[in-house]
Amino acid sequence: MIKALFGQFKRWYAIPYVLMCIFVTLQSASYHLSSNSFSLSWLGVSIAIGPLVVFMAVIYFLPWSGIANYIAVPFVAAFVGTVLAVIEMRPLPTFYSLFLGLGGVLVYIFWYSDLDRRDNPLLKIGSKLPDFTVKSIEDKELQSSAFLGRKTLFIFYRGNWCPVCQSQLQELAEQYQEIQRRGVAVVLISPQSADRSAELARRLDVEMQICVDEGNRAAKRLGIVHHYGVPLGILGYGSDTVLPTALIVDESGSIVYADLTDNFRIIPRVQTLISALDGVW
């Protein structure tokens, strides 16, 4: 019950927080442009919150799989900006810097990004991949056993709404020939609709199998459902999604590699997956 409640808090947090940060950044810029006097506190607001807004913009509008490596930039900026705001101690900008700037960055890094993922005994390396059922974008049912007899990379992604997932999949498409050259099939699975999955297939334009997990049936079977994982305000995806998961399975259906990330910003780069393929075969 407590875990579900915190999951709902996370769902309600993301978009309202980003909108508040954008509003405060614009308010700070307006002060600098309209005031004839210099304010250390309002400068602190710009430094504490501005880099975080840029970081979020890069994630959502220019999906880049390496962005997680630069989370220290908005953190350091938030700390420096808060110190500047506290020196002058004007109430409103100091509040913004402390709670939206430094506090917001800490919440994003240490609470919001954490998927609260427990150890999954179903997806241990060396164990057989549990049977599950998905659908093709043509609405045909596919049993996981249909992928037996070939090395397979399964990517469970949250949906087209998730920029971090989209960055990973775009990189995967760009290096698909390298994976195919190793004799490995790629299967992408998401609980999003067939129409959105078909849109993704057109955008990636490679011969990867893209599947729909209706109602998270396969995710439930594998123990990788993310309850309340879709941020409030993202329409058409429901509230539940899948925990980002990458599995490499051999011809007999045994798991030889598993990435069960506990942080949605940190999912395996394609080069990591290729190295994993080379390491097991």
What the block records as the tokens of 158 is 């949250």
**What is the average per-residue pLDDT within 148-160?**
95
pLDDT digits (tens, 9 = 90+) for 4-52: 676 788 899 888 998 999 999 999 999 988 888 889 999 999 999 999 8
Three-state DSSP class for residue 207: coil
pLDDT digits (tens, 9 = 90+) for 74-125: 999 999 999 999 999 999 999 999 999 999 999 988 999 999 898 899 999 9
Given phi > 0 = left and psi -120 to 50 = alpha, else beta, which region is 238?
Answer: left
> What is the reported pTM?
0.90
The yes-or-no verdict on residue 201 having pLDDT over 70 is yes
What single-letter amino acid sits at 111?
Answer: W
Confidence of residue 281 (pLDDT cuts 50, 70, 90): confident
User: Tell me, which fold does domain 121-280 have in CATH?
Assistant: Glutaredoxin (3.40.30)
Whole-number pLDDT of residue 63: 63
Percentage of the chain beyond pLDDT 90 is: 73
The yes-or-no verdict on residue 150 having pLDDT over 80 is yes
Count CB atoms within 10 A of the CB of residue 25: 21
What single-letter amino acid sits at 159?
Answer: G
Confidence of residue 195 (pLDDT cuts 50, 70, 90): very high
Give the DSSP per-residue string, 210-253: EEE-GGGHHHHHHT-EETT-SPTT-TTS-S-EE--EEEEE-TTS
The yes-or-no verdict on residue 175 having pLDDT over 90 is yes
What the block records as the tokens of 148 is 């037996």
Whole-number pLDDT of residue 81: 96
The yes-or-no verdict on residue 3 having pLDDT over 70 is no
Phi, psi torsion values for 97, nearest 5 degrees: -65, -40
- Parse the chain into domains and list their residue ranges: 2-112, 121-280
- Sheet hosting strand 255-259, strand order edge to edge: 141-143, 133-136, 209-212, 184-190, 151-156, 245-249, 255-259
CA–CA gap between residue 12 and residue 43 (Å, rounded): 29
CA–CA gap between residue 269 and residue 281 (Å, rounded): 19
Whole-number pLDDT of residue 207: 87
Report CA torsion sign: 128, 130, 136, 139.
positive
What single-letter amino acid sits at 29?
Answer: A
Confidence of residue 133 (pLDDT cuts 50, 70, 90): very high
The yes-or-no verdict on residue 152 having pLDDT over 90 is yes
Whole-number pLDDT of residue 280: 75
CA–CA gap between residue 253 and residue 132 (Å, rounded): 12
Confidence of residue 216 (pLDDT cuts 50, 70, 90): very high
Per-residue exposure over 29-53, b if at least 16 CB sit within 10 Å of its own CB, e if not? eebeeeeeeebebbbbbbbbbbbbb
Whole-number pLDDT of residue 54: 86
Whole-number pLDDT of residue 37: 83
CA–CA gap between residue 46 and residue 102 (Å, rounded): 12
Percentage of the chain beyond pLDDT 70 is: 96
CA–CA gap between residue 98 and residue 84 (Å, rounded): 11
Whole-number pLDDT of residue 259: 97
Whole-number pLDDT of residue 126: 96
pLDDT digits (tens, 9 = 90+) for 50-69: 998 888 888 777 766 566 66
Confidence of residue 71 (pLDDT cuts 50, 70, 90): confident
